[in-house]
Amino acid sequence: MTSSICDVAGIEVGHCTDGRRPTGCTVVLARAGAVGAVDVRGAAPGTRETDLLAPHNVVDCVHAVLLSGGSAFGLDAAGGVMRWLDERGIGLAVGPATVPIVPAAVLFDLPLGDARIRPDAQAGYAACEAATAHAPAEGNVGAGAGAAVGKIFGYARGMKGGIGSASVTVDGVTVGAIVACNALGDVFDPATGRVLAGARSADGLALLDAQEALLRGDEPRPILAGSNTTIGVIATDAQLSKVQAGRLATQGHDGLARCIRPLHTLSDGDALFALATGASRRSLGMMTLGAMAAEACTQAVLRAVRAARTVRVGEQFLPAAADIP
């Protein structure tokens, strides 16, 4: 087992990372289609096709999910994913046409380098071309290339975020997650309580623990709405209905809350998608599947910041967890 979302049968992942500045996009492909759902918890999301995934709406089959940097501009990359799928005849049959269903979510990574450089349709297409069923790269790649965490006391005191993936298997059924962590808050290890990456002290040499700082009365710096976000995809080979997939996305947020604090703020656009391929031809109870989704999301976030590497672009400096004692 590779312990990634690609352990789920029917799922492939591809990254496109822009070499001109830290940004990029990540696609999660389900070529045969998957039951899709979403749960958006952040107050400042940047998304596409999330209304379609509501349980009271008709379409329940998704062919890909895009995670992208570039803020709202990055939603353009979904057009490239649609083109790639369309060229292969993958999509929902609608009369004379086949329409690929590609929900998407974006994160804000514009402060690093030239903000005019962001993922576009060509980047989305390239991510599809790179997609495989092997464990995806983690850290400073794809949608995690420009991600940062711990910006609650200002961007200059934050650290490098990234993208990570993990999976859990119980009784022959697998739940995996891939998460791009660009949180306003800190990332901490729930097993030890230790902050791994987040807001740094004023001198930049030590971790602060933003939660403790807020509770003792330290004033956060004003943060623009939507300038932070943790986005991801949960996938399972269990057979689920659209309502059940929605519950899986909801419980995935429990996993984020175990390792990110604060979470779901007015400045975050946190969103998790869920895909159920049904490839195992079986299921487990939703209690167990929900616990698996939460655990996979927690581990994906931890792997994202542990795999991250320090970035310096002009005057912007974001140290990685590995570089802060």
Domain annotation for the chain: domains and CATH numbers: 5-323 (3.60.70.12)
% of residues, the chain, pLDDT over 90: 82
Average pLDDT over residues 130-158: 95
What is the 3 state secondary structure string of 77-110? HHHHHHHHHHHCCCCEEECCEEECCCCEEECCCC
Q: Is residue 280 within 8 Å of 227, Cβ to Cβ?
A: no
Confidence of residue 148 (pLDDT cuts 50, 70, 90): very high
Confidence of residue 1 (pLDDT cuts 50, 70, 90): very low
On the question of pLDDT at 96 being above 50, the answer is yes
Q: Round to whole Å and give the CA distance between 267 and 222.
A: 9
Q: What is the token pair recorded at 79?
A: 């057009």
Q: What is the token pair recorded at 54?
A: 């509501």
| Predicted TM-score (pTM) of this structure | 0.95
Q: Round to whole Å and give the CA distance between 139 and 127.
A: 16
Each residue's pLDDT tens digit, 263-299: 998 888 899 999 999 999 988 899 999 999 999 999 9
Q: Round to whole Å and give the CA distance between 161 and 158.
A: 9
Confidence of residue 221 (pLDDT cuts 50, 70, 90): confident
Average pLDDT over residues 101-122: 96
* Mean pLDDT rounded to a whole number for the chain: 94
Q: What separation, in Å, do the N-terminal and C-terminal C-alpha atoms of the chain show? A: 31
